[in-house]
Homo-oligomer: A and B are copies of this chain.
Amino acid sequence: MNILITAGGTTERIDNVRTITNSSTGKLGSAIAEAFAGAAHLPVEKIYYLCGLNAVTPASEQSGTTSIIRIGSVNELIEKLSEILATQKINVVIHSMAVSDYTVDSLTTKSNMAASMTRFIKDSGQTGDLSPETFTSGMLQAAFSGNGNLSSENKISSDIEDMVIVMKKTPKVISLIKKLQPHTLLIGFKLLSNVSLETLLDTAYSLLLKNGCDLVLANDLAEITPLKHKGYLIDRHKSYEEFHTKAQIAEGIVKRVGSILTRGNEES
């Protein structure tokens, strides 16, 4: 069987030297890869390990079963993931990567925005005729579409007084997986911060239903320390198992995947 694991965080480019990064170490993804590589009862042939630029990599890299593929932006992740899912039979996808929800749409400065807005007033000359909502909408559109937008092709000069970064949504990577390989076993991840267990489980279960996941690992930043990592592995019946360390989560996922595959996907 072939496994695809995503791990670590994505990196979106602001300019040549500045990036917006989802700061995930990739340690959980790496523990999962090692648990699969070491699972005696599962015939693992190949692990495709797509990970962020600074993510740690599993020791199974040395044995040759694991191919490490470094990923920068969300677009790069979509490209590589789609390529693998379109050309290889993948039995299990573990999507643990912290994927940026946003990418850079445009860069500007407050003074560029002010200039564009002033020009908008002068050009339209009809302030009084518009409703405050319509007028505001025009002003804001002018503010963000002025010619004054900075170029992100080179390094932005550090002489600029302030910088306004407009971010737009990225496509939801997890939603692509079952579309490309409907019969793969999909394990999603949901990381929230400082929420109740109920909210965490509900949000994770919504993710499961929405994207056709077989299992979702729910975790909360407030319950992750260097030594502990609380995780809740939720299934399609909304029952869940609780784990307390990365190693436990990794072993738990491998065990559960093994039993689902053995029973011929009866759970799903």
Contacts and interface: CB of A to CB of B under 8 A. Distances in A.
B158 A163 contact: no
Contacts of A11: 21, 23
Interface of A: 9, 11, 14, 16-24, 54, 98, 100-102, 105, 110, 113-114, 117-118, 121-122, 127-128, 132-133, 135-137, 139-140, 143-144, 154-155, 158, 161-169, 191-194, 221
A21 B18 contact: yes
Contact of A14 (B20, B122, B140, B221): B20
A contacts with B: majority SS = mixed
Nearest to A168: B162
16 contacts: A17-B22, A17-B24, A17-B98, A17-B193, A17-B221, A18-B22, A18-B23, A19-B23, A20-B20, A101-B158, A102-B162, A105-B162, A118-B136, A128-B128, A162-B169, A165-B165
Given A16-B193, A18-B23, A18-B100, A166 B164 contact: yes
A164 B166 CA distance: 5
Contacts of A16: 193, 221
A268 B158 CA distance: 28
A21 B19 contact: yes
B135 A121 contact: yes
B163 A137 contact: no
A127 B130 CA distance: 11
Of A54, A132, A168, the most chain B CB neighbours within 10 A belong to A132
Contact of A121 (B21, B113, B122, B132): B132
Given A101-B158, A161-B169, A193-B155, A20 B19 contact: yes
A158 B133 CA distance: 26
Nearest to A16: B193
B98 A194 contact: no
Contacts of A144: 110
A127 B222 CA distance: 47
A140 B136 CA distance: 11
A105 B17 CA distance: 20
Given A105-B162, A162-B105, A221-B17, A194 B133 contact: no
Given A9-B17, A21-B21, A121-B135, 14 more contacts: A16-B193, A17-B22, A17-B24, A17-B98, A17-B193, A19-B21, A20-B20, A105-B162, A114-B136, A118-B136, A154-B193, A154-B221, A162-B166, A164-B166
A163 B221 contact: no
Q: Please indicate which of the listed interface residues A16, A155, A194 has the most CB atoms of chain B within 10 Å of its own CB.
A: A155
